[in-house]
Amino acid sequence: MNAARHSTGLGWRQAFGPVDAVGVEERVAKYTTRSIKKASKLWGLRCAVSMVDLTTLEGKDTPGKVASLCRKALRPHEGEDIPPVAAVCVYPAMVRHARRHVRGTSVKVASVATAFPSGQAPLRTRLAEVKAAVGDGADEIDMVINRGAFLAGEFGRVQDEIAQVVAACGPATLKVILEVSELETYDAIRHASFLAMAVIRPGDFIKTSTGKTGLNATLANNQVMLDAIRDHYLETGVAIGMKPAGGIRTAKQALQFLVAVKETLGDAWLTNTRYRFGASALLNDLLRQIEKERQGCYQAPWNFSDATEAY
Amino acid sequence: MTRPAETPRARTRGSAAALVFGDLWEYDPAPETADPRLQEQYELFINGRFIAPRGGRYFDSINPATGRRLARIALAGKPDVDAAYRAAARAFPAWSRLPGRDRAKYLFRIARLLQDRAREFAVAETMDGGKPIRESRDFDLPMAAAHFFYHAGWADKLEYIVPGGRARPLGVVGQVIPWNFPLLMLAWKLAPALAMGNCVVLKPAETTSVTCLKFAEILRDAGLPPGVVNFVTGAGGVGAAVIAHPLAAKVAFTGSTEVGKAIMRQLAGTGKRMTLELGGKAANIIFDDAPLDQAVEGIVNGIFFNQGHVCCAGSRLLVQESVAERVIPRLKFRLRHLRVGDPLDKNTDIGAINSKAQLARIRGLVAAGVREGADCYQPACRLPDQGYFIRPTLFTGVTQSHRIAREEIFGPVLSVLTFRTVEEAVEKANNTPYGLSAGVWTDKGSRILKLSTELKAGVVWANTYNKFDPASPFGGYKESGFGREGGRQGLQDYLQIG
């Protein structure tokens, strides 16, 4: 895999090609005109539920809140046909609490690590955090890349750090957060995607954002990363997963992201082993739409557990 | 749905990487249900009234998605065309003397009425012509309204078009439009003619007259004075009568090069002005530094937009040989999830071929491509059982001498050629009798500027394709015709100076 690492001989633009901002935004606008109705809507909604990384990443998180989150993750709503979500996503300190509630189920424990969200800690601290989270029972690690190094042009360093986190992960799945809003351009998002994909393992993920900055997952940066995943797959045969995170709050948005997956990477990525949504409010909107499809009318917010609507 | 199964993760590299665009998640039918408010039968629109043709003859307009009759359309005869011209000539003095700001009011009104009824017109356009509802809804209708809005703005600014000169309308203009964008081509023709104070006799294509005659309802509702615009319907014979009529001060034609040449011969020495917008065989040129994913999208948009029934369609793809191996598989993936089918379905990307005759012509040229040894690729998509459909088609291994690289196919058929140097790209792109449009895809600005001067094409798009704006002149070089539509340049073709 080292051979595929970032080559210094060839400029990265020549190696990976540029992205045309107008073109990519035009492309994704077409996804939003897809009309998803009836059975296909229901399938998409359920599929999206199964892809949610149900997330709480706040300073005020407590074991109790995490317990509540885990219950929601296991059984999002009444009814046998609603799948559990893919994972709960928490801070490292909450991993052992989450572990207790989801042990033996299909729901994974994902932990952000590497001094999330800024990544501004010494590498050894970040690696230690990863090891601690894995040691506490995290199945998946969501790391942040070193954006400072990336923007300063130290691409080799960014990639080496990712490789070291891969090693620290052991058996845990890794999701590499590019923090797209800090990379500024689609070109940079594409470049960073390739930097990460060259050193992570099949089944690991690249992820848009921490959810802690102004602009998070959009259809356009999702598309740039999906295109990169497809190119990497066609080139190497290594299938990398994708996780847009932050800003996806409605079922309608989630379906549009899934349309992008279907029309870019195809059927093999329409599964939670290869596609995830990092979200919290999204889950209840998905459930609300599923109930609407089933019953023909919208249910009140209080019919859904953990609803955050204010009335 | 059961929960997507978790497969044990393979930690070894797969070898045969292939993407599956299957039916794991099928989109359910999503038909557009707005009522097109069609009549059983449409009459001629002459002197502000709907009147039966004197010959009493009608012909069928076919819905190409079903092959069944959509409406009966009046067949105009020479006396009808004559009546239309005389009505226009009677209306001309008052209309041309109307202050520009008052003519603008009519145009603004027409544009707004068209917007009000956009959904209804989009459905009618799709049923009559076969184009996907997504395109008639998102492109044809908004653009048609935009042309009326834009030209309404010019109507009271004639003196600014030719500084120092006096601009006067020409008189009655005869216009003949094609079937690929029935309503939009009507807007391109009518709006500048009316804004400048001309009166019009217009003939739509025989396969797509319905939205034109529906549009007559809008003209009537807008209170446009009788005779300013007249519609006569029928096939080529009616078009010839419109072109040849002695009262025509100018003739504007959009259609095939063959007919365009016949018109030029016919009008030689008559003193009539003319503009012709004819065929094309545009080159879409992809350089190795291009944004490839967006280029693939642009290629698809360039050739499969409106089933390839676009005179400026990017029907020849020139790919730099060093990236051909990356571009062509991506293009094939993209083709595999283009949705061919019911034009009224909101998820349809490629609708019905406009007519049986056109379908036969496309099939004939595809067969010629295969016979001449090019490699034909068509995705294995399902086609509807009825109506006129064809799969999007990609030919690789095409040379400049193949018929599919030289003749305008006017269908969803793309011919792929490769090139090595910039000079070769320009040479191949220009090696065609046509010169309507071209596309250039590169990350290098200087190369775009160089090519935009070297490509003999009326429009050169850079890192995009099929972009239109009422303010941007459109028209051709060589056998693609002359005269411009849109922008200030387009207005000058409807004026005399001095």
Question: Residues B148-161: pLDDT tens digits?
Answer: 999 999 999 988 88
What pLDDT score was predicted for residue A14?
A: 63
ipTM summary value: 0.92
CATH no., domain A17-295:
3.20.20.70
Q: Does residue B316 share a domain with residue B236?
A: no
Whole-angstrom distance, CA of residue A138 vs CA of residue A130: 9
Residue whose entry in the numeric block shows the structure tokens 């804004």? B195
B30 touching A (Cβ < 8 Å)? yes
Among candidates B253, B157, B168, which has minimal Cα distance to B204? B253
Q: Does residue B352 share a domain with residue B290?
A: yes
Q: Does residue B448 share a domain with residue B403?
A: yes
Do B11 and A46 count as a contact with CB atoms less than 8 A apart? no
Q: Which amino acid is at B485?
A: E
Find the residue in B nearest to A235 (Cα).
B17
What pLDDT score was predicted for residue B467?
A: 96
Q: Does residue B170 share a domain with residue B56?
A: yes
Q: Point out the residues of chain B with pLDDT beneath 50.
A: 1-15
Do A20 and B13 count as a contact with CB atoms less than 8 A apart? no
What pLDDT score was predicted for residue B337?
A: 87
What pLDDT score was predicted for residue B166?
A: 85
Contacts of B205 (CB under 8 A, 6+ apart): B177, B178, B179, B182, B255
Count CB-CB contacts under 10 A for residue A81. Answer: 12
Residue B399 tokens read as 């040379």
Q: Which amino acid is at A212?
A: K
- pTM score, whole prediction: 0.93
Calculate how close chain A gets to B11, using CA atoms only, in Å.
6
Q: Confirm whether B362 is domain-assigned.
A: yes
Q: Are B31 and A73 in contact (CB under 8 A)?
A: no
Do B13 and A41 count as a contact with CB atoms less than 8 A apart? no
Dump strand ranges (E) for A72-107: 87-90
Do B463 and A36 count as a contact with CB atoms less than 8 A apart? no
To the query of whether residue B212 is one of the catalytic residues in this protein, the response is no
What pLDDT score was predicted for residue A79?
A: 82
Q: Which listed residue (A53, A142, A187, A204) is catalytic?
A: A142
CATH of the domain at B337: 3.40.309.10
B347 burial via Cβ count (<10 Å: 0-12, 13-18, 19+): buried
Calculate how close chain A gets to B132, using CA atoms only, in Å.
13
Q: Are B52 and B367 in contact (CB under 8 A)?
A: no
Q: Which listed residue (B206, B277, B408, B485) is catalytic?
A: B277
Q: Confirm whether B35 is domain-assigned.
A: no
Q: Does residue B112 share a domain with residue B63?
A: yes
B160 touching A (Cβ < 8 Å)? no
Q: Confirm whether B134 is domain-assigned.
A: yes
| Domain ranges, ordered by start, for chain A | 17-295
Q: Confirm whether B177 is domain-assigned.
A: yes
Q: Does residue B52 share a domain with residue B15?
A: no
Candidate from B13, B21, B346 with C-beta closest to A237: B13
Find the residue in B nearest to A187 (Cα).
B291
Do B30 and A36 count as a contact with CB atoms less than 8 A apart? yes
Candidate from B21, B30, B291 with C-beta closest to A35: B30
Do A234 and B17 count as a contact with CB atoms less than 8 A apart? yes
Q: Does residue B292 share a domain with residue B368?
A: yes
Calculate how close chain A gets to B34, using CA atoms only, in Å.
15
Q: Confirm whether B225 is domain-assigned.
A: yes
Q: What DSSP designation does B479 have? A: G
Contacts of B141 (CB under 8 A, 6+ apart): B114, B115, B118, B121, B122, B125, B183
Q: Confirm whether B60 is domain-assigned.
A: yes
Whole-angstrom distance, CA of residue B226 vs CA of residue B209: 20
Calculate how close chain A gets to B88, using CA atoms only, in Å.
43
- How many pairs of residues across A and B have Cβ atoms under 8 Å apart? 137
Q: Does residue B75 share a domain with residue B188?
A: yes
CATH of the domain at B103: 3.40.605.10
Find the residue in A nearest to B138 (Cα).
A33
Contacts of B51 (CB under 8 A, 6+ apart): B43, B44, B45
Do B1 and A47 count as a contact with CB atoms less than 8 A apart? yes
Whole-angstrom distance, CA of residue B124 vs CA of residue B211: 6
- CA B442, distance to chain mean position in Å, is 26
Residue B207 tokens read as 């396969």
B29 touching A (Cβ < 8 Å)? yes
Do A36 and B292 count as a contact with CB atoms less than 8 A apart? no
Q: Confirm whether B36 is domain-assigned.
A: no
B50 burial via Cβ count (<10 Å: 0-12, 13-18, 19+): middle
DSSP codes of every residue in B316-341? EEEEEHHHHHHHHHHHHHHHHT--BS
Among candidates A165, A166, A140, which has minimal Cα distance to A86? A140
Whole-angstrom distance, CA of residue A122 vs CA of residue A6: 23
To the query of whether residue A243 is one of the catalytic residues in this protein, the response is yes
Residues 47-106 of B with CB under 8 A from A: none
Q: Does residue B484 share a domain with residue B381?
A: no
**Which residues in chain A have their CB less than 8 angstroms from residue B25's CB?**
40, 43-44, 47, 258, 262, 267, 270
Q: Confirm whether B472 is domain-assigned.
A: no
B22 touching A (Cβ < 8 Å)? yes
Q: What DSSP designation does B235 have? A: S
What pLDDT score was predicted for residue B364?
A: 98
Find the residue in B nearest to A272 (Cα).
B4
Calculate how close chain A gets to B294, using CA atoms only, in Å.
5
Q: Point out the residues of chain A with pLDDT beneath 70.
A: 1-14, 308-311
Handedness of CA A293, A294, A299, A302 (dihedral sign): negative
Count CB-CB contacts under 10 A for residue B449. Answer: 13
Pairing of strands B68-74, B58-63: antiparallel
What pLDDT score was predicted for residue A15?
A: 72
> In which domain, by residue range, is B287 found?
283-462
Q: How many domains does chain B have?
A: 3
Count CB-CB contacts under 10 A for residue A163. Answer: 17
Q: Which listed residue (B43, B135, B199, B311) is catalytic?
A: B311
To the query of whether residue B277 is one of the catalytic residues in this protein, the response is yes
Find the residue in B nearest to A261 (Cα).
B21
Q: Which listed residue (A204, A207, A227, A285) is catalytic?
A: A207
**Which residues in chain B have their CB less than 8 angstroms from residue A202's CB?**
9-14
The secondary structure element, H or E, covering residue A52 is strand A52-55
Count CB-CB contacts under 10 A for residue B103. Answer: 25
Candidate from A23, A50, A270 with C-beta closest to B464: A23
DSSP codes of every residue in A116-157? TTT--S-HHHHHHHHHHHHHTT-SEEEEE--HHHHHTT-HHH
